Structure 1
Amino acid sequence: MAARTSVLQDLAGHDNAQVKRGGSILEQSEHFSEVRRCRDVIWAFLFLIVAGVVVCGAVAFSINLWSMDKNSKADTTVLHLLEDSYVHAMLSLFVAGLASLGFSVLFLLFAQHNAECVVWTCLLLGPVCAVASGAAMMASSWPMPGVVGLLVFGLGILLFILVFCCWKDLVPLTVLLLRTVIHVVRMHSTMIMLSIFGAALAILWSVACFTSLLAVSFYDEEIAHAMKEKTSRSPMKALVFFCFAFMYYWGSIVSIDTAFTSCSGVFGRWYFQKDRPDDAPISKSLKVACTTSFGSICFGSFCVAVVRAVEFVVGVLRREAQEDGNIVLCCLLAVVECIVECIGDILQWVCSWAYVQCAVRGVGFCDACSATFSLCTFANMDAICASTLIDSVPYLGALIVGLLSGGVGFLSYHAAGASASGYAISVFACSFWLGTLAAWAALMPLKAGASTVIVCFAEEPDFLRRQAPALYEAFVHHCGDVSSEGSRRSSRNSLQLGDQARDLRAAPLMEMGPVGQRKLQVTVPEGVLPGQMVQVRTPEGQLLQVAVPLGYSPGQAFVANY
């Protein structure tokens, strides 16, 4: 545990207050403690109340619609048509959801044996879709949506350039990390059930939300009238859209993040060698995600859902401005939508790393964010993140599965003979969205595994050397490649050692062996002052942190003992 003590003590003694707070949280929290407190409980109660209202409303409307007496009312032709369309649409969505689970499992099985092909396919899918959709929009009409199509087409070309000029060098490390993650999934194959559990919850929640929206529109005449108007002219419609989007995103993200946290717990137990069969790693991880850490998941998901709901409403307004041909307003709303989307992406990125700490240590959401910030600042975790493209694999894999699921839902709706009602395109869009969401939940082991391995490596690298030596060497190599740049970035917040010169016996970032008398020549990087810490790599591949002695300036070399 020498590495843990070294890293956490350095974090807890950091001069940056935020880093110090995160280090103290890490130092006080043990891995996989048997006794855990329930965190952020109030958010779990709030979510359960919202979920209860949505589910009860959906069930009540479905029962009323199903048990309607068709012979007692002669003027219910529209209602009969609504009933038939509703039943066929819900069945099609359900079939699309089941299809997405099957396609997701096939994607995981294919990735086990063709990791490099999967990575390249996911990298090229985004540019191909952007170019194709942009060309289709340009071929439709001008100025709108032709102008938007031109921008999308240009974005696709730019993505192609980035793939072949910048991102191709990141593929080898991404493939190695993906193979390690899939190796763990094969060791604990029932982990896929956690993903299916999250995907099933996402499917049921989506159906419940769409049913509740239909019920509100059907029984409330004021809302039904408002839904026929433009959102820009009807505050009621904008409010309904915001509430619907918020509830939909909150429940869906909770379902996905519950699966994510469960998988993170399994990977964390593998990393720290606590995944023996008698330890029941999968059941314990699921228990943590659904009990003690569930409030933290609801808290983080709430923050993301609010931003996503705002983004949804802004997107609706932008599309209406585009249909009206108002180019100025459309461009302004596009800028606002982009800003809001970036905020949502940042929150979602922070949550994905914070949930790892919730799964491994059982801390609250805010404490998990502080701990993650400390590791990113001190342990050069951002360098590894910038060297991999593992996030694109589940995202774009879910897009592939979503397209296939949308096709299945459309064919199911058409085969039922309901396509004449005019809702076929809407069913395809909903099936695509539902399939993408369910696939994203089903592919959680890929994202959760990569995030957990990187976070745990930032704190205790030596465990990865025992579990996956090849990946450990690759991580060390990439950390060494960026150590000079990282030292410039982190030196402003490094631990100050006082005015006196110190013995430069290095404090390694991995488990220390017996102290030897070997020496290492270190060149002071640009922007580093005497007394500040720099990160270097020994010929043996060990990461060290050494202090620059007094009297040495950038470009000068000194000798450190280790």
Structure 2
Amino acid sequence: MAEPVVVQGQEVNYGSATNVQHHEQQAKCQDPLFAPLFYIDIIAIVAVAILRGEGALNSQYFSEEYQGYYYSALLGGVVGLILSGLGLQVMMCIPETLIKASLIFTVIMSAFVMVVAFLNSNWFAAILGVLFFLLTCCYAYCVWSRIPFATINLVTAITAVKANCGITVAAYIFTIIACFWSFIWAIAMLGVFDSAYTCTNYETRTGCTVSGSGYGYLFLLFLAYFFGHQVFQNTIHVTIAGVVATWWIAPDEASSCCSSAIWDSLKRSLTTSFGSICFGSLLVAIIQALRALANTARSQDDGILLCLAECILACIQGLIEYFNKWAFIYVGVYGMGYCESGSNVMQLFANRGWESIIADDLVGNTLFLVSLVVGGLTGALGILIEWLAGWIDEDNPGDSKLMAFGLGFIIGVVLCSILMSVIASSVNAVLVLFAEKPAEFQQNHPDLSARMRQIWSEIYPGSV
């Protein structure tokens, strides 16, 4: 038996049926200082939208130039939600096919980039493209045999979601909330536009640059926006982890569309674990806001230092998001604090020697491909809507079609990514729970457990 680790003051032996049960969480608010920051964030943006946004909404410029964008965004949001739901159903029906398609898509895209570089006689980019294409082909060759491993994890996660399909409704609700948040934030952004930017012509908003104090306004606006979206997304992540844990340990409590596991897990996410969610979300939001600020500065002064700063921030963001992905599983399963959760889950994988397993993110590539497809379809429908309705400024027809596609694509990708988090969170929870509670899985879901044990043993001998 593997060495035990300490979880909430109790010794946990892997494979033991005496592990700490997820429903034995202490009724204690974790990281309570960070939840009020989220409430302040919401109140501040709503206040700015009400106090400063009214003038922007009533302005002639807004009514003539921006109104069409909002119509397109709202309709694109509805279309994106529908297509995201369809994508989720497809994901549930043909998981292995989609995993293979995503891997092939990665190779095709690397080849496409290489060919474009050669056609444009950009020899430096072409050389990098060749190297990237060869590396991508090697990666695909090496991990192709591991597709069954990714598939069985995905199938197990999908089985848990199907048994508690009401969790997808919660994902839709938080997606809709995220849409309204984006809308309110956009109004607030317009309300402080004149304070953040200095324009040569304010009527047409041309020749605009960020003023000295404008960077402070933009940072606060970017921080508020990303903080809100991170909290919405991570709340669903934590909720799903709790639901999957209940399905794993006590399936009788998590075997219907609106099972008690969904409500209990959602309640914990919005109460005792909400501070931990806000803590981790704020860390990522700060880095995202700094990246957005650096990108804005680069649009005015494309300096090497700004480019370097943006690259460094991107790396830091990736590390924190990776940490959050696993830390929030423990937040949802055990109700631990944010830092304690991250420490325990990393220690768990380190003890089991599964660092290489969690690095094979084939499922993540598949979810990304589905999001891209939904974004592309939403963008194409955006062009159709613009062609029929002509909501966007028609002075430059080519630009209006491009803007319609770009707006629809971004909305589709964002909405589908939030909904795909249902599957991503379930897969992550399955990995953690199978590492820590294989005995409970064998007892409650013997068929799936046998398949997982067989495939894991074949792909990673000695891991089980």
Structures share a fold, TM > 0.5? yes
Deviation at 1:303, TM superposition (A): 0.4
**The one of 277, 293, 297 aligned to 1:297:** 277
**C-alpha distance in 1, partners of 2:404/2:119?**
24
**The one of 368, 390, 394 aligned to 1:420:** 394
**Could you tell which deviates more after superposition, 32-41 or 258-267?**
32-41
**C-alpha distance in 2, partners of 1:127/1:54?**
43
**C-alpha distance in 1, partners of 2:307/2:417?**
26
**C-alpha distance in 2, partners of 1:353/1:440?**
18
**C-alpha distance in 2, partners of 1:318/1:46?**
30
**C-alpha distance in 2, partners of 1:444/1:26?**
31
Show the counterpart of 2:199.
Answer: 225
**C-alpha distance in 1, partners of 2:314/2:73?**
27
The structure showing larger relative contact order (alpha-carbon pairs under 8 Å, at least 6 residues apart) is: 2
Asked if structure 1 preserves the Cα contact closer than 8 Å seen for 2:52 and 2:192, the reply is no
**C-alpha distance in 1, partners of 2:24/2:8?**
18
**C-alpha distance in 1, partners of 2:422/2:311?**
29
**The one of 281, 286, 291 aligned to 1:306:** 286
Show the counterpart of 2:455.
Answer: 474
Amino acid across the alignment from 2:254 = D
Show the counterpart of 1:161.
Answer: 137
Amino acid across the alignment from 2:330 = Q
**The one of 162, 165, 186 aligned to 1:189:** 165
Show the counterpart of 1:272.
Answer: 249
- 3-state SS of paired residue (1:108): helix
Show the counterpart of 2:354.
Answer: 381
Show the counterpart of 2:324.
Answer: 351
Show the counterpart of 2:69.
Answer: 89
Asked if structure 2 preserves the Cα contact closer than 8 Å seen for 1:127 and 1:156, the reply is no
Please give the TM-score of this superposition, normalised by the length of structure 1.
0.71
Asked if structure 2 preserves the Cα contact closer than 8 Å seen for 1:127 and 1:157, the reply is yes
Q: 2:28 matched to 1:47?
A: no
**C-alpha distance in 1, partners of 2:132/2:263?**
43
**The one of 358, 367, 382 aligned to 1:394:** 367
Asked if structure 1 preserves the Cα contact closer than 8 Å seen for 2:230 and 2:281, the reply is yes
Deviation at 1:129, TM superposition (A): 4.3
Asked if structure 2 preserves the Cα contact closer than 8 Å seen for 1:265 and 1:285, the reply is yes
User: Which residues of 2 match residues 310-459 of structure 1 at below 5 A?
Assistant: 310-318=290-298, 320=300, 329-330=303-304, 333-387=306-360, 389-417=362-390, 418-420=392-394, 424=400, 425-459=402-436
Show the counterpart of 1:112.
Answer: 92
- 3-state SS of paired residue (1:165): helix
Q: Is the alpha carbon distance of 1:357 and 1:479 closer, same or farther for their aligned partners in structure 2, counting shifts above 3 Å?
A: same
Mark the runs of 5 or more structure 2 residues left unpaired by the alignment: 13-18
Write the deviation string for residues 436-490 of structure 1: whole angstroms up to 9, x where unpaired: 1211111112111111011112212222334222013323444425x6xxxxxxx
Asked if structure 1 preserves the Cα contact closer than 8 Å seen for 2:107 and 2:137, the reply is no
Mark the runs of 5 or more structure 1 residues left unpaired by the alignment: 1-5, 13-21, 69-78, 323-328, 484-542, 544-562
**Could you tell which deviates more after superposition, 89-98 or 406-415?**
406-415
Q: 2:69 matched to 1:99?
A: no
Show the counterpart of 1:203.
Answer: 179
Determine what percentage of the aligned residue pairs are the same residue.
22
Write the deviation string for residues 323-345 of structure 1: whole angstroms up to 9, x where unpaired: xxxxxx44x54444333212111
Write the deviation string for residues 386-427 of structure 1: whole angstroms up to 9, x where unpaired: 355222222332222222223333443443322315573445
RMSD, aligned α-carbons: 3.1
Amino acid across the alignment from 1:195 = A
More helix by share: 2
Asked if structure 2 preserves the Cα contact closer than 8 Å seen for 1:202 and 1:255, the reply is yes
Deviation at 1:300, TM superposition (A): 0.3
Q: 2:156 matched to 1:180?
A: yes
Deviation at 1:138, TM superposition (A): 7.5
**C-alpha distance in 1, partners of 2:45/2:109?**
35
**The one of 208, 216, 222 aligned to 2:192:** 216
Asked if structure 2 preserves the Cα contact closer than 8 Å seen for 1:381 and 1:455, the reply is no
**C-alpha distance in 2, partners of 1:230/1:150?**
34
Write the deviation string for residues 34-56 of structure 1: whole angstroms up to 9, x where unpaired: 65212122211111111112123
Q: Is the alpha carbon distance of 1:447 and 1:114 closer, same or farther for their aligned partners in structure 2, counting shifts above 3 Å?
A: same
Alignment: residue pair count: 442
Q: Is the alpha carbon distance of 1:369 and 1:179 closer, same or farther for their aligned partners in structure 2, counting shifts above 3 Å?
A: same
Deviation at 1:380, TM superposition (A): 2.6
**C-alpha distance in 1, partners of 2:213/2:111?**
37
Deviation at 1:275, TM superposition (A): 2.0
Write the deviation string for residues 267-322 of structure 1: whole angstroms up to 9, x where unpaired: 11111124255961111111111221111111101101111222223334445555
Q: 2:10 matched to 1:11?
A: no
